[in-house]
Amino acid sequence: MTPLQILIKSLKIFFIFIFGSFFLFLFLIVLTSSLISRSINRPPNYLIETVFNSVKNNPYESKDKINFLILGLDKRDDALEKTSTTDTVIFASLNLKTFKLNLISTPRDLWFYEKEVKINGLYPLSLESGQDKFDFLKSNFEKLYNQPIDHVVVLTTDNLISFVNLIGGVDLNLENGFTDNQYPNQAYIDNPSPSIPIYKTISFPSGLVHLDQSNITEFVRSRKSADTAAAGGTDIGRIERQQLLIEAILNKIKSGELINNKDQLKNLYFFWNNEISKTLSDIDALQIAFALNENISKISLNKIEIPIGINAKDGIIYHPLKSINKQWVYITSDDKYQAFQQFVSDQIK
């Protein structure tokens, strides 16, 4: 065999090896994608198509921020209360340059002039509006905050219990412990009877607190432990505890503990996909993850308090001397929300 023939034969073997390896690699990717897709009850090509569509046109790569509206739906239809209001209202802005997640928890009693309701009443209005509920919520809360809202997530109390259960609970440090003697008694709600107390006493000591499905609802719902937020009472005290919980959940996600458990990840995906009411698709979630890249571990939480005053001059919001429509409310210092909107804009830069 001549040197030229040897060279040609070597080149053939080389290219066969290269192309063979490439197609083997491609086959393994397709096979893995198919197995993962099937494991989450999706078509075989779902994962590949989702990743491809996420990469080819990612709108978040050109954005500085991603804004979310997070609503906590406390739906009640029992002997003590009938309501479908969202008593938790959070405007969350993820800064893609500083990797800061800015949380502005907005009191549920803030008055929304245009619809003449408290902001916790916008969700039930969205169900009656004839519009898509998410379009209704986006457009009205954008008027309040004067910020674009990219996505809306609505969580129920049951969702919160299930989520905390799935991740094995969370630990947080509670600076001020509290005792609430007027917490609704679930036994009475399940079986209203004169022999069963309407309320029960719950208590959380200061220091390290472990939250799981047994106590998470009481922790985030309680608001009658005291007359001041500093002592853990009122809606403002409840807001502060909810922010503590979000911080604890974020820290657990950043720790990587959840990623290392495949079964837990799959269960979390099913929970997110089947149980949570949201505008975020799988493609949206992947695009946000790609925009963050390895910086997800750098995300820090910035818990922002809205200044509450006794009048329009010393607070962004305040409680007026007279009720509005016979309701106890907070109002902004002007009915166009200008000072409030400027505060929001300044805080999320």
Q: Give the model's pLDDT for residue 29.
A: 37
DSSP secondary structure, 244-268, as one string: HHHHHHHHHHHTTTTTT-HHHHHHH
Identify whether the C-beta of residue 36 lies closer than 8 Å to the C-beta of residue 266.
Answer: no
Confidence bin at 101 (pLDDT 50/70/90): very high
Q: Give the model's pLDDT for residue 67.
A: 97
Tens digits of residue pLDDT in 179-208: 999 998 888 888 888 889 999 999 999 999
Rounded to 5 degrees, φ, ψ at 102 are: -85, 125
Counting beta carbons within 10 angstroms of the beta carbon of residue 213, is it exposed (0 to 12), middle (13 to 18) or buried (19 or more)? middle
Greater pLDDT, 321 or 337: 337
CATH topology of domain 59-347: Aminopeptidase (3.40.630)
Is the pLDDT at 279 greater than 90, yes or no?
yes
List the structure tokens of 277.
């009411």
Confidence bin at 293 (pLDDT 50/70/90): confident
Q: Give the model's pLDDT for residue 326.
A: 87
Greater pLDDT, 225 or 9: 225
Report the C-alpha gap between 291 and 75 in whole angstroms: 35
Confidence bin at 24 (pLDDT 50/70/90): very low
| pTM greater than the 0.75 cutoff | yes
Strand partners, 304: 104
Q: Give the model's pLDDT for residue 61.
A: 86
Tens digits of residue pLDDT in 224-268: 876 665 555 678 888 899 999 999 988 888 777 766 677 777 888
* Alpha helix ranges (H) inside 194-292: 216-221, 234-254, 262-275, 282-292
Reduced to 3 states, what is the DSSP secondary structure of residue 42?
Answer: coil
Q: Give the model's pLDDT for residue 232.
A: 58
Q: Give the model's pLDDT for residue 16.
A: 46
Is the pLDDT at 296 greater than 70, yes or no?
yes
Average pLDDT, the chain: 83
Report the C-alpha gap between 316 and 335 in whole angstroms: 12
CA dihedral (312, 314, 319, 325) in degrees, to 10, reads: 10
Tens digits of residue pLDDT in 113-151: 999 999 999 999 999 999 999 999 999 999 999 999 999
Greater pLDDT, 208 or 17: 208
Of 306, 286, 211, 214, nearest to 249 (Cα)?
211
- Least reliable range by pLDDT among 47-61, 232-246, 303-317: 47-61
Confidence bin at 78 (pLDDT 50/70/90): low
Is the pLDDT at 278 greater than 70, yes or no?
yes
Domain range annotation of the chain: 3-56, 59-347
Share of the chain above pLDDT 70, in %: 81
List the structure tokens of 44.
């075989």
Residue identified by tokens 């800061």 is 100
Share of the chain above pLDDT 90, in %: 44
Question: What is the average per-residue pLDDT within 68-86?
Answer: 78
Helix (H) or strand (E) holding 297: none
Q: Give the model's pLDDT for residue 6.
A: 54
